[in-house]
């Protein structure tokens, strides 16, 4: 049964999308983080370029229908495994 509840469509799948997009945009996440650490309070002004690059990367994934379908498929697979085993699988974080 692949029918999705409201919470799955609006919360759980977008969470997978955010996690995966952060992994896929990790170079931009690191550049923005480094810039913020180096500039402190002036980060709003000095890190604008890094922030824009990061936002563009993330939004590119969030608005991609194929990426949504990939994440939906991943979610359904996890849901199926959970229903079969009763064991919730933790998402692996890439470091």
pLDDT of residue 2: 64
- The pLDDT tens digits for 29-71 are 999 999 999 988 888 889 999 999 999 999 999 999 999 999 9
Give Cβ neighbours of residue 75 (< 8 Å, ≥ 6 apart).
8, 12, 13, 16
Closest residue by Cα to residue 58 from 91, 26, 35, 36 = 26
Q: In the predicted model, is pLDDT for residue 90 greater than 80?
A: no
Question: What does pTM read for this prediction?
Answer: 0.78
**Calpha distance 26→53 (Å, rounded):** 11
């Amino acid at each position: 049964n692949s029918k999705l509840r409201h919470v799955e469509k609006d919360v759980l799948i977008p969470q997978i999308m955010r996690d995966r997009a952060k992994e896929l945009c990790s170079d931009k996440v690191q550049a923005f983080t480094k810039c913020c650490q180096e500039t402190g309070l002036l980060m709003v002004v000095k890190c604008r370029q890094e922030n824009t690059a990061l936002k563009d990367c993330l939004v590119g994934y969030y608005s991609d229908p194929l990426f949504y379908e990939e994440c939906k498929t991943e979610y359904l697979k996890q849901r199926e495994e959970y229903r079969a085993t009763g064991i919730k699988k933790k998402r692996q974080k890439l470091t």
